[in-house]
Amino acid sequence: MATDFALLLRRFLTAHLAGLRGCSPNTVASYRDTFKLLIVFFRDDRSIPPEKLTLDCIDARAVSGFLDWLEDARHNSVSTRNQRMAAISSFYRWMQSQDPAQMACCQDILAIPAKKQAQPGVNHLSVEQTRRLLAQPDRSTQRGRRDATLLATLYDTAARVQELADLTAGDIRLETPAMAALTGKGNKTRHVPLGDNTAALLNVYLAEHRLQGPGHDNDAVFVNQHGSKLSRGGIAWIIRKYQAMTGDPVLANAELSPHVLRHSKAMHLYDAGVPLPYIRDILGHVDLSTTEIYARASTEAKRRALEAAYVDIVSDDLPEWNQDPGLLNWLATL
């Protein structure tokens, strides 16, 4: 017989997350993985097998122990610890309305604070590094044309890697103004404009693969050698392949992933003076505060702000010290 925890967890993952909230499969999988680890923790650390794990076993002290176990035994980062805590908090926030008798326990767990961590910088490429990376594919070959189009689309749309993998021929409009429809977190779709060069690459690529005619709207744009849509890992592998070919030692040794190209596009837009609300809409952020990391990270923007603040205040018009008789006489008396 299923325990109360098992029954409620199933309802939370299926009826609540997937059904009521309409969360994407990736989001549901992330929540599921958190609770898989929680069950493993109780089995291995507390000697409570899954079939005997009940709500009474899980209190604030046990959850705190689980979070410490993630860091100590599994060597998870603070960021991962906080992500797992957020998933547990979401479950117990929902639990309050499902079982009022558990409200006190739920609120104790919800009171567990996130662990503070240093704010990391935004890992991104410079404009020149991005240009060098996107120029690497050999466009004289069919594989190279696919890769050149893939990299250009990934950067130009600032898409998440799964959004690019899920892109279909029907999601692309090449008529002016050209744009791509990206479906991201929460199955929300946003329309992102395409630059002229990216639109030209896509036009040639779609024609070459006969994806522009009727009946192909649901066909994946970027596929592997077997005709199946590229996976997240496959897209990451393509990026690393061309990263190694750039001949730039700094770029070759950088931590480069599809998400770094997304960060790079956002940083380049911000440095070019594009307002944050526009960048938020392109990235598909719900809250503008999420997009503000690019404002905090932009060294170029800070430089421009400092220059603007010191106009006509600080002057570099200084005399040469060896041409100052007063200073030379003073030095001679030392």
Catalytic annotation, residues: 160, 185, 259, 262, 285, 294
Q: Are 270 and 241 in contact (CB under 8 A)?
A: no
Q: Which helix (DSSP H) or strand (DSSP E) does residue 321 occupy?
A: none
Q: Are 181 and 191 in contact (CB under 8 A)?
A: yes
How many helices and strands, by DSSP H and E, does the chain display?
17, 3
| φ, ψ for residue 181, nearest 5 deg | -95, 115
Cα-based angle 224, 230, 231 (whole degrees, multiple of 5): 135
Q: Which residue type does 215 have? A: G
Cα–Cα dist 126/134, whole Å: 12
Cα–Cα dist 38/51, whole Å: 13
Cα-based angle 82, 124, 184 (whole degrees, multiple of 5): 60
Q: Are 158 and 277 in contact (CB under 8 A)?
A: no
SS3 state at 181 = strand
State how far the alpha carbon of 196 is from the alpha carbons of 61, 171, 206, 269, in Å. 57, 17, 15, 16
